[in-house]
Amino acid sequence: MSDQHANLEWRDGAIPVSTRFDDPYFSLENGLAETTHVFLAGNDLPNRFTPGFHIAELGFGTGLNLLTTWAAWDAADMTAPLRFTSFEGFPMSAAEMARALSAFPSLATYSQRLVEAWAQDKTLTTLEGIKARVILGDARKMLGQHDFAADAWYLDGFSPAKNPELWDADLLQEVGRHTKATGTAATYTAAGFVRRNLQDAGFEVTRVPGYGRKRHMTIAQKLP
């Protein structure tokens, strides 16, 4: 389990920025729209939702991706809980999470439940309504210790230029090994070495239009 924690400063009093990686946790324009564009649409969600669907994520951050997906799952009238597994090396405090998520009032009912569970246990064992689990620690060490195959991956580490460890070849090989045949992955970055590492991990990789000022992003599908 990680004994590290997030080091934050706040831009405009509302947007958390990691001082360790000099990178914001979500879009300075509209974090909710970015999550929807990059991670949901990038994985063809909610169209692919089925009972038992499993999303895995590198970089839990504020929990915004989980909340956005959870709300979309409920809006799609799915009856069984969504399964969501995330890896986080530098967790923020519950108070920091609450402050960050206050920027998204449309998710307030979900945010309150997440923050309360996070305050009790950062692995989210007490969060009801979704089968969520946050695995704390360095994903390069932790992912290989877990046995699952995800339907979709959210690759949401900090910028590859500032946090290359979360995009390295060995870790993305593990992502490939933890993805179902024809499963997908999406990320906001179109960095060449990230795309090559995904290809080497068994994915067919496509560059598509990004969100806002980011011209391109990456989607990928595991080859059968």
CA distances from 108 to 11, 17, 33, 87, 103 (A): 21, 21, 16, 23, 9
Contact indicator for 197, 175 with CB cutoff of 8 Å = no
**Residue 85 CB burial class (10 angstroms; 0-12, 13-18, ≥19):** buried
pLDDT for the residue numbered 128:
96
**Is 1's pLDDT higher than 60?**
no
User: What DSSP state is assigned to residue 91?
Assistant: P
In the chain, pLDDT over 90 holds for what percent of residues?
Answer: 86
Bridge partners of residue 58, in order along the sequence: 87, 155
pLDDT for the residue numbered 3:
55
- 87, 61, 85, 98: which is closest to 2 by C-alpha? 87
pLDDT for the residue numbered 214:
86
d(CA 12, CA 2): 29
**Is 2's pLDDT higher than 80?**
no
Question: pLDDT digits over 87-120, tens only?
Answer: 999 999 999 999 999 999 999 999 999 999 999 9
* Helices and strands in the chain, H and E counts: 7, 10
Question: pLDDT digits over 177-206, tens only?
Answer: 999 999 999 999 999 999 999 999 999 999
**Is 80's pLDDT higher than 80?**
yes
Question: pLDDT digits over 59-71, tens only?
Answer: 999 999 999 999 9
CA distances from 83 to 25, 57, 92 (A): 23, 11, 22
Q: Which two tokens stand for residue 62?
A: 């504020």
Residue appearing with tokens 């995330």: 86
pLDDT for the residue numbered 28:
63
Question: Residue 169: CB partners within 8 Å, gap ≥ 6?
Answer: 197, 200, 201
**Least trusted range by pLDDT, from 5-9, 39-43, 141-145, 215-219:** 5-9
Question: pLDDT digits over 120-138, tens only?
Answer: 999 999 999 999 999 999 9
pTM of the model: 0.95
pLDDT for the residue numbered 42:
98
